[in-house]
Amino acid sequence: GNSVTQMEGPVTLSEEAFLTINCTYTATGYPSLFWYVQYPGEGLQLLLKATKADDKGSNKGFEATYRKETTSFHLEKGSVQVSDSAVYFCALRGAPIQGAQKLVFGQGTRLTINP
């Protein structure tokens, strides 16, 4: 079945540092890939997405590129801020021909940014 493996946390960085959170996946066909962010006490917010190979999703300074050859969707940001502190989830949605549209999540990575 489909699965997502995410870089284990927690990750602690200083403000303005470069961020990478690794995410790799296992799936048949051509899934869609997502990054969701969960701030303390809140629900899941879609951060960015990519629906086909070589697509780059970007939002709020975050970027991730859908790499089919390495089955990866690593999240990056060039200069993090204290307000980026949250839990980040990589997620996969199977190709539409597979019928089920549920999201499969990685384990989540807790990010803390210190001033």
Smallest gap from residue 93 Cβ to another protein (A) = 7
Total residues contacting another protein (rule CB under 8 A)? 21
- CA neighbor of 30 nearest in space, from 55, 5, 47: 55
Which CB, 81 or 107, lies closer to another protein? 107
Rule CB under 8 A: say whether 108 interacts with another protein: yes
**Calpha distance 57→10 (Å, rounded):** 24
Per-residue binder mask for another protein (CB under 8 A), 6-35, x = binder? ----------------------------x-
Query: Restricting to residues 41-60, which ones interact with another protein according to CB under 8 A?
Result: 42-46, 49
**Calpha distance 48→37 (Å, rounded):** 9
Rg of the chain over all Cα atoms, to the nearest angstrom: 14
